[in-house]
């Protein structure tokens, strides 16, 4: 039964599992319609059986811009409009930057950043024509805090997604398009399971990359509930109170706050040195004392 008086149409990438699956299910349970894209749309057959023509499964590889355009065309044919676009498709493999296979590093970036680029770019003309809409970009707390050993490609892409989205928000604000960057911490999805390949970790990186590999394999970082997170996002969309960024999970919020406090403290300590780089400013100035 629908819990809302207004029906939204969602376009969700990576809908076959993880956050995408949870979000598709939550939106449908709320009475909305969903264009559920996946590399293997047959994995969505149970949603079709349950929700009928309120769900449209579409085959999509987000790294293929022509396929992205075709998916939006199918969405428009089926539902006439799209209210919420969700860039969720993504994955990570674990390896030190020094020893990671370069092609694998690039493939991850192709999905995690360029996929977001293709989908966002294709969505803008449709949302413009409609007079607005919402784009939700799945990042990670690592896309704000970073420095997670072994996730060089994944976190570089997530930082890029955030920067890219901030520019999009500034460019399209007069067009009624709004953006939400979602930054989860550890959640009980298969992100660190079947979706992740872990390279052999050289001895030099056992204390850093190896420690993370052990943690992920043990499930120690996965305390978040993806179904609950999906329900939160559906509530936010329907309440129409959209933050620019949303951290998900107490651990993510704590990490982000600690990081922001550290950034603010460092910028304050070095502020006089920063200002001395300007023409006409007092120069030189003393460097901050150690500690």
Q: Which residues are catalytic?
A: 139, 154, 158
Contact 32, 51 (CB under 8 A): no
Separation CA 45–CA 21 (nearest Å)? 12
DSSP 38-95: ESSGGGGHHHHHHHGGGEEEEE--TT-HHHHHHHHHHHHHHHS--SEEEE------BB
Pairing of strands 84-87, 133-138: parallel
Q: State both tokens at 288.
A: 């901050």
Separation CA 209–CA 160 (nearest Å)? 22
Q: State both tokens at 201.
A: 């970790």
């Amino acid at each position: 039964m629908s819990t809302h008086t207004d029906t939204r149409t969602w376009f969700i990438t990576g809908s076959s599992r993880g956050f995408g699956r949870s979000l598709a299910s939550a939106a449908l349970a709320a009475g909305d319609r969903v264009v559920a894209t996946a590399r293997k749309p047959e994995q969505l057959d149970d949603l079709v059986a349950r929700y009928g023509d309120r769900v449209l499964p579409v085959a999509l590889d987000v790294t293929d811009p022509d396929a992205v355009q075709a998916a939006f065309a199918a969405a428009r044919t089926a539902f006439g409009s799209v209210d919420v676009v969700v860039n969720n498709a993504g994955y990570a493999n674990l390896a030190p930057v020094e020893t990671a296979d370069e092609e694998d590093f690039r493939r991850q970036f192709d999905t995690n950043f360029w996929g977001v680029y293709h989908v966002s770019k294709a969505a803008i003309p449709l949302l413009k024509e409609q007079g607005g809409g919402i784009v939700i970009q799945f990042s990670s707390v690592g896309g704000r805090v970073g420095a997670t050993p072994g996730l060089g490609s994944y976190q570089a892409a997530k930082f890029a997604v955030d920067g890219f989205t901030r520019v999009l928000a500034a460019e399209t604000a007069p067009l009624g398009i709004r953006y939400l960057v979602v930054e989860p911490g550890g959640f009980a999805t298969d992100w660190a399971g079947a979706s992740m390949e872990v390279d052999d970790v050289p001895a030099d990186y056992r204390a850093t990359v190896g420690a993370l590999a052990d943690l992920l394999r043990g499930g120690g970082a996965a305390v978040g509930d993806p179904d609950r997170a999906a329900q939160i996002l559906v509530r936010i969309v329907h309440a129409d109170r959209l933050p620019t960024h949303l951290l998900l999970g107490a651990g993510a919020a704590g990490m982000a706050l600690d990081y922001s406090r550290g950034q603010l403290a460092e910028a304050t300590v070095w502020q006089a040195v920063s200002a001395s780089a300007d023409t006409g400013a007092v120069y030189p100035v003393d460097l901050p004392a150690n500690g």
